[in-house]
């Protein structure tokens, strides 16, 4: 495993970050098996784990806590979690307010079974809350020793800039990293988020580098793949594949042929592509099974030749999301109540 410095923190993290979203009811409900996956990742050199309070309503954090209950393991791991999403029925048990953040960090500490959180991230922007209130609350949590650093997740570029300016003007702590959606099929952040992160020395830890399974190698021309977890969920809702998803499927088939031509798996090519960008610190992988984890551990050793990168650009141009839904966040300005009609 190779390591990179997270922004300007001086903290070295592995090029692969173990995402824990699939641990619990959302993915793998077997706690023992999930703990085994965590331990295998640590044995492979991964020292960075990312979870969130909303993942299986806190169950993911509890599983991570179990896996790190050995004090030595906890000391050697950079643990990241997030807050913002709705937790429970209380209408104020969500968002980016001081009231909620200061309460929810205690809940996450308890579920994780730890005295401190290395990286506490704001899961999404909150249009109802001033960013200076959020930064002020997070700064106080750092001073109290409950968190070490804080960052953002899926923030648009202009809000990242605003947060940096507010932090400077108000003498507050700043976001040290951003966690955006990024993959070969979702390259929108190349236009603005990644350059902004580089400008401000922020680390970047992309989520969904395999684009929710579209880049798992399932799609090959002329081959009908077995239904995925996402396919089964869609079928249960009675939904059909969107035009954007159809476009991604077609591109994934071309990318599968391209990977084979260069002697790579699609998974290795997809992860190596994300890690190849100079702004990226660590790519978040989200295995549900041990087999999925094993298939992704070799990616940091893969080097993509220029010819392959050019061929990828021909399939999915730089700065383009094939599916608008992959942006991860709908700007409030596009919601019906804010439009002119």
| Pair 286, 206: CB distance under 8 Å | no
Residues with Cβ within 8 Å of residue 49, at least 6 apart in sequence: 17, 18, 19, 20, 38, 41, 64, 68, 77, 78, 79, 80
The catalytic residues are 55
Confidence of residue 227 (pLDDT cuts 50, 70, 90): low
pLDDT at 339 over 80: no
Q: Which of 183, 182, 184, 181 is nearest to 311 (CA)?
A: 184
Q: CA-to-CA distance for 108 and 122, rounded, in angstroms?
A: 13
Model confidence pLDDT, tens digit, residues 245-297: 999 999 999 999 999 999 999 999 999 999 999 999 999 999 999 999 999 99
Q: CA-to-CA distance for 185 and 209, rounded, in angstroms?
A: 9
Residues with Cβ within 8 Å of residue 89, at least 6 apart in sequence: none
| Pair 86, 55: CB distance under 8 Å | no
CA dihedral (18, 19, 24, 27) positive or negative: negative
C-alpha R_g of the chain: 19
| Pair 163, 122: CB distance under 8 Å | no
Question: Is 3-321 CATH 3.90.1150.10?
Answer: no
Token reading at 61: 């954090």
Q: CA-to-CA distance for 286 and 209, rounded, in angstroms?
A: 9
Buried b (16+ CB within 10 A) or exposed e, 47-81: bbbbbbbbbbbbbbbbbbbbbbeeeeebeebbbbb
Q: Diameter of the chain by CA atoms?
A: 58
Mean pLDDT of 14-38: 98
Three-state SS for 181? strand
Residues with Cβ within 8 Å of residue 182, at least 6 apart in sequence: 189, 204, 206, 207, 208, 209, 274, 277, 280
How much is the pLDDT for 240?
75
Three-state SS for 23? strand
Three-state SS for 85? coil
Model confidence pLDDT, tens digit, residues 139-198: 999 999 999 999 999 999 999 999 999 999 999 999 999 999 999 999 999 999 999 999
Q: CA-to-CA distance for 43 and 37, rounded, in angstroms?
A: 10
| Pair 166, 138: CB distance under 8 Å | no
Residues with Cβ within 8 Å of residue 205, at least 6 apart in sequence: 6, 17, 48, 50, 80, 177, 178, 179, 280, 281, 282, 283, 284
How much is the pLDDT for 229?
60
Length of the chain: 341
Which residue is associated with the tokens 């499927």?
249
> Which run of H or E residues covers position 131?
helix 131-143
- Weakest mean pLDDT among 20-24, 134-138, 233-237: 233-237
How much is the pLDDT for 131?
98
Q: CA-to-CA distance for 88 and 85, rounded, in angstroms?
A: 10
| Pair 76, 39: CB distance under 8 Å | no
Each domain of the chain, given as residue ranges in start order, spans 3-321
Helix-then-strand count for the chain, H and E? 12, 10
């Amino acid at each position: 495993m190779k390591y990179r410095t997270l922004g300007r923190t001086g903290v070295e993290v592995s090029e692969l970050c173990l995402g824990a979203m699939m641990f619990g009811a959302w993915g793998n409900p077997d706690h023992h098996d999930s703990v085994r996956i965590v331990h295998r990742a640590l044995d492979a050199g991964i020292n960075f784990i990312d979870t969130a309070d909303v993942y299986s309503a806190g169950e993911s954090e509890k599983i991570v806590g179990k896996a790190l209950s050995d004090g030595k393991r906890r000391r050697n791991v950079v643990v990241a979690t997030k807050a913002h999403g709705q937790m429970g029925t209380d209408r104020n048990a969500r968002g980016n307010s001081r009231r909620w953040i200061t309460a929810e960090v205690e809940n996450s500490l308890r579920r994780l079974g730890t005295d401190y959180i290395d990286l506490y991230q704001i899961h999404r922007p909150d249009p109802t809350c001033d960013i200076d209130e959020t930064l002020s609350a997070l700064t106080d949590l750092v001073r109290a020793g409950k968190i070490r650093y804080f960052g953002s997740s899926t923030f648009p570029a202009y809000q990242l800039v605003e947060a940096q300016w507010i932090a400077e003007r108000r003498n507050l702590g700043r976001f040290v990293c951003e966690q955006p959606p990024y993959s070969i099929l979702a390259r929108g952040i190349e236009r603005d988020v990644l350059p902004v992160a580089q400008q401000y020395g922020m680390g970047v830890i992309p989520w969904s580098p395999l684009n929710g399974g579209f880049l798992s190698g399932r799609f090959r021309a002329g081959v009908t793949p077995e239904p995925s977890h996402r396919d089964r969920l869609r079928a249960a809702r009675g939904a059909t594949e969107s035009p954007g998803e159809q476009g991604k499927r077609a591109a994934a088939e071309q990318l599968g042929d391209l990977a084979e031509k260069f002697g790579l798996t699609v998974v290795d090519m997809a992860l190596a592509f994300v890690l190849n960008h100079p702004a990226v610190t660590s790519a978040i992988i989200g295995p549900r099974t041990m087999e999925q984890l094993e298939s992704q551990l070799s990616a940091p050793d893969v080097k993509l030749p220029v010819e392959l990168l050019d061929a990828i650009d021909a399939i999915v141009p730089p700065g383009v999301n094939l599916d608008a839904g992959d942006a991860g966040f709908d700007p409030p300005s596009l919601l019906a109540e804010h439009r002119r009609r």
